[in-house]
Structure 1
Amino acid sequence: MWRYRFIATLLGLSVTAAPAWALTDTQARQLLWRTGFDAPPERVSALRPLSQGQAVDRLVDAAADDRLAKTPAPDWVGEPITVPFVPKDLGDDEKQAFRRMWAQRDLQLQAWWMQEMLTTETPLAERMTLFWHGHFTSSLQSVRAGQLMYRQNVMLRANALGNYRTLLHEVAHDPAMLRYLNNQQNRKGAPNENFARELLELFTLGEGHYSEHDMQQAARAFTGWKALPPDGRFVEVRRQHDDGIKSFLGQRGNFDGDDIIDIILRQPQAAVFIVDELWHEFVSPNPDPSEVERLASSFRKDWQIAPLMKQLLREPEVIDARSAGTLVKSPVEFVVGTVRSIGLPLTPLSAVLAADSMGQALFYPPNVKGWPGGDGWITSDALLSRRQFVLALAGDAPMVAPQGQGREANLRKREYQQLRRQRAVVARRFGEFAESLPPDAALQMLALNPVQPPVDGAKPPDRLETWLLDPVYNLK
């Protein structure tokens, strides 16, 4: 044996086997797909010498340090807050131009975040920000102020892997949230219960863990909390605040909104609820109740999100081959992952429109419950849109809808022409990437073996297109 080692050393050969605890290529890819958007070979290679725990620490620590977006924000995010009501004295053409301006701003804000996801070096930071955006739901459709939605994104990003208690208090003070859930109309003597109800039902505890009385008392505690123009800052209007005694979850006192949140966090269910949500997002659709409780028990000691994510992503199920393909890619993951994997020169605006067509418009969750997630992404219309997107990348379908249709109608002429012109460039890069892949590269693209493998002798672009159209490509 020593002779073999000596000869191998002279020849420059490596004889050191990977430690038993080191990740395999397949496990590294699965971890990257679960925590990001793609699994490029260089990142797989970087994780391969590490154990699952070491790899998780590296990913979470990098994301926790990345608290600011690198992409410059639209130049209007600092403007005073105005409600985009169409002035009555405008002519028809002027009204149309006014509406188009606001629609273009929405697209610009969406493209800003999409560009960050397409180019980030810490995908987990974006995935966590996207998770909280879908959990603590607000929508441009109701908030009607892109400046406030931008600030909310900045807040969610800064706290995405920070302290959950701090995050929850920030959400309750967030002007976009208060506008979205009508807390602007919540005042002493005439409480609006929308924010209090969703805080308890969808954000922190879940149905069955509070009473209608608790919800009503919480609404009283949040009276007078609102966002004031022109800058949209949070204020507590004292004359509108109910400072009477309230009884909430077994406690009595002259509570305000911050007191309500602190009482919520004393409930064991608060930690269980959020751990269960994170498990669904990053591990599997079937949480292990005993493991959820174990993680929740640790989490509620200090409410630190980064350590929780490190524990969660150390679950064997995260990299187990038996759990591969059990999670469904969201439209944003599908689009961003495809563009990043292939290195496509796709504009962020095109990516926004593609994800929107599949059912996920950034800053526009469909309702207060957020996006459906899981199998809810797999509808016949959504799958058709995913197929159309892949065909467009390969040059086999139009890149954008005809001018004047859908959201494309809100684009300036030069923006629309830019989207059309990129078709040839994108298709060329698609072909170049396909040529660089070995025939057995399905494992680099798919979480499981393809349902419909490419035909023997297929040309590289056709082979790549077949993999991306395979049902398995929707899974991670």
Structure 2
Amino acid sequence: MAYLDKFNGFFSEKEARHLLNRTSYGASQNLVKNAVSLGLNATINKLFENIPLPEPPLKYEPDGTANGEINDPHVKQGETWVTAPVHPNLQDSRDNNRVLRARNRSLYAWSFLQFQDSNFSVREKLTLFWHNHFVTENSNPHREFYYANILRKNALGNFKEITKQITINPNMLIYLSGNQNTNTAPNENYARELLELFTIGKGDAIGNGDYTNFTEEDVVQIAKVLTGWRVRGIKNSDTLNAYFTNNRHTKGDKILSHRFDNAVISENGENEYKDVIDVIFKQEECAKFITRQLYKWFINAEITSEIETHIISPLAKIIRDHEYEITPALKVLFSSEHFFESTFCMIKSPIDLIFSTTKSLLLTAPKTSVKDQYDFAYVLYLMATDLEQSIFHHPDVAGWKAFYQEPLFYKTWVNSYLLPKRLEYCKTLVTGGKVTIDEKRYTIPPLVPVLQIVADISGAKNPNTLITTLASQLFNYRISQEQLVALKDILIPGLPDFEWTVEYKNYLADPTNIALRTSVDKKLRDLIGTMVQMSEFQIM
């Protein structure tokens, strides 16, 4: 096995599609062709380009009380609410809550628009990775936005730096009780998760309170280091920034255990948290820990001793050699023989599944209005939430179970309850129809441009060519003869091949003929709607 040796095969559409599917959210045929024309090296460099941050989320719901909503006096429709007062300060607290819930919906829809529009970039896939790594949950949309902004700004950057920023982020301070951690009432929540989930991992128990990578006493001492950080109340104008209170900080030296070479964290006030993070990151295990997390996110959930030796350790060394910048290691991984050998071993997460449907089938948000655009994205958010991958609402501080819970890992996404929903949502995105989410009905219009997709397939008059080409684009490999026959029976039930050839030729000769156009469109929509329900579409 070549492991991290550079891929030296032919970089065809199959390899390009695999790369784009794993590093971004689905890929249109045009993106795949662009990648092939660029070649592997240039494609990877383009994926890691430093692109501008998106414009902030907008208020998209109109003012009014017809649906129980209330006027937001601080923001007009089509403008951003991010710079508006965090507390709407309306007379009725219920009205305040309605405004904040509307801003929450805007944030979630906007986040899904970023996934939808990510195109040739790994940034959004990494933003979600960090969101699942540094888990927080807080109902205030402003704090959620600024927390997510840290992740997005640092997505391609430095693991140690993002850890420092997240440590004193108000969302995190509230979620893991850091703002309640004082010299008179120490709170160990964040200190424990900083070690166990965010930086180095626990490892096996060696003795009482002593693990492979840290001890219980380290948790106690690091909690003392982190005392004194606070978050102002929601009605305060500066509630979005944490602040340090020296008289709530534990004074004096803090001594870590033998796991950290008995390092002494000297009194350093508001900069002390940086000092302890620097000490943690001196341990080689930090680089291995984050490398394993990235490997599970992008490659495979199961890490064998062989993978540990030949993939994790050398990539971790690259991360350490680059002072915890992750991009150099990821570029090596995505360029490797091992990456292109690791195919069809990952069940798509709900977010991957939804956007592999929309992106590969050219389904885009309507451009008619801000409301239509956000409504489209919000329904996608609700679908992912219903499939148990809800952004800003993880099941627990460890993140989504698919990326840590043995032995199921990715299989968590496809139990007997979730699989029928996955299949229903995929088909409905293609064919249109109504879906019920959380007891509410939503109408999905049939917006996938099936005629446009098929028009770009050379030889589409031949049903065999049409179906095998679509299968290559949707599944990234050739289907069996039995599958071809079954799918052809969806396109032209019980009819010989020439029936499709004649009908499609007639449509091409007279594309404005409503009857011909409607008939061909329905046949193609039924075909593709069936294909996205196949098990082959559920994996990548």
Q: What TM-score does the superposition give when structure 2 sets the normalisation length?
A: 0.73
How far apart are the structure 2 equivalents of 1:424 and 1:170? 42
Aligned to 1:393, the other structure's residue is in SS state: helix
Aligned equivalent of 2:467 = 439
Structure 1 residues 326 and 132, CA, compared in 2 at 3 Å: closer, same or farther? same
How far apart are the structure 2 equivalents of 1:309 and 1:190? 42
How far apart are the structure 1 equivalents of 2:248 and 2:86? 22
Structure that is richer in helix per residue: 1
| Bigger Cα displacement from structure 2, 28-37 vs 328-337 | 328-337
Aligned to 1:398, the other structure's residue is in SS state: strand
Aligned to 2:264, the other structure's residue is in SS state: strand
How far apart are the structure 1 equivalents of 2:85 and 2:55? 23
Which residue identity is paired with 1:257?
Y
Cα-to-partner distance string for 1:390-428 (whole Å, 9 max, x where unaligned): 232244641454xxx54x5xxxxxxx8xx53xx3443x6
TM alignment of 1:388-467, pairs within 5 A = 388-395=424-431, 397-401=433-437, 405-406=438-439, 408=440, 420=443, 423-426=444-447, 429-430=449-450, 433=453, 438-440=466-468, 441-448=470-477, 453=483, 454-459=486-491, 460-467=524-531
Match of residue 29, structure 2, among 34, 41, 47: 41
Which residue identity is paired with 2:354?
V
Unpaired segments of 5 or more residues in structure 2? Answer: 1-6, 60-79, 204-212, 366-375, 403-409, 458-465, 492-523
| Bigger Cα displacement from structure 2, 295-304 vs 434-443 | 434-443
How far apart are the structure 2 equivalents of 1:83 and 1:475? 44
Report if the CA contact (8 A) 1:22-1:49 is conserved: no
State the shift of 1:433 in Å: 4.0
1:254 maps to 2:266? yes
Which residue identity is paired with 2:357?
T
TM alignment of 1:107-256, pairs within 5 A = 107-139=105-137, 143-208=138-203, 209-229=213-233, 230=236, 231-232=238-239, 233-248=241-256, 249=260, 250-254=262-266, 256=272
How far apart are the structure 1 equivalents of 2:8 and 2:184? 66
State the shift of 1:100 in Å: 4.2
Report if the CA contact (8 A) 1:175-1:227 is conserved: yes
Aligned to 1:79, the other structure's residue is in SS state: coil
State the shift of 1:180 in Å: 1.0
Report if the CA contact (8 A) 1:442-1:450 is conserved: yes
How far apart are the structure 2 equivalents of 1:149 and 1:39? 28
Match of residue 375, structure 1, among 411, 416, 428: 411
State the shift of 1:457 in Å: 3.6
Aligned equivalent of 2:499 = none
Aligned to 1:344, the other structure's residue is in SS state: coil
Which residue identity is paired with 1:455?
L
Aligned equivalent of 1:7 = none
How far apart are the structure 2 equivalents of 1:70 and 1:82? 22
Aligned to 2:449, the other structure's residue is in SS state: helix
How far apart are the structure 2 equivalents of 1:56 and 1:436? 26
Cα-to-partner distance string for 1:15-41 (whole Å, 9 max, x where unaligned): xxxx97440211111111111112222
Cα-to-partner distance string for 1:347-384 (whole Å, 9 max, x where unaligned): 11111111111111122112101112222222222212
Unpaired segments of 5 or more residues in structure 1? Answer: 1-18, 409-415
How far apart are the structure 1 equivalents of 2:170 and 2:8? 51
State the shift of 1:110 in Å: 0.2
State the shift of 1:283 in Å: 1.9
Aligned equivalent of 1:4 = none
Q: What TM-score does the superposition give when structure 1 sets the normalisation length?
A: 0.83
Structure 1 residues 448 and 219, CA, compared in 2 at 3 Å: closer, same or farther? farther
Which residue identity is paired with 1:295?
L
Cα-to-partner distance string for 1:149-208 (whole Å, 9 max, x where unaligned): 100111111111112221111111211111111111100021111111111000011113
1:282 maps to 2:310? no
Structure 1 residues 396 and 310, CA, compared in 2 at 3 Å: closer, same or farther? closer
How far apart are the structure 1 equivalents of 2:104 and 2:363? 24
- RMSD between aligned residues: 2.6
How far apart are the structure 2 equivalents of 1:77 and 1:275? 34
| Bigger Cα displacement from structure 2, 126-135 vs 325-334 | 325-334
Identity %: 26
Aligned equivalent of 2:330 = 309
State the shift of 1:67 in Å: 4.7
Structure 1 residues 382 and 98, CA, compared in 2 at 3 Å: closer, same or farther? farther
Report if the CA contact (8 A) 1:67-1:157 is conserved: no
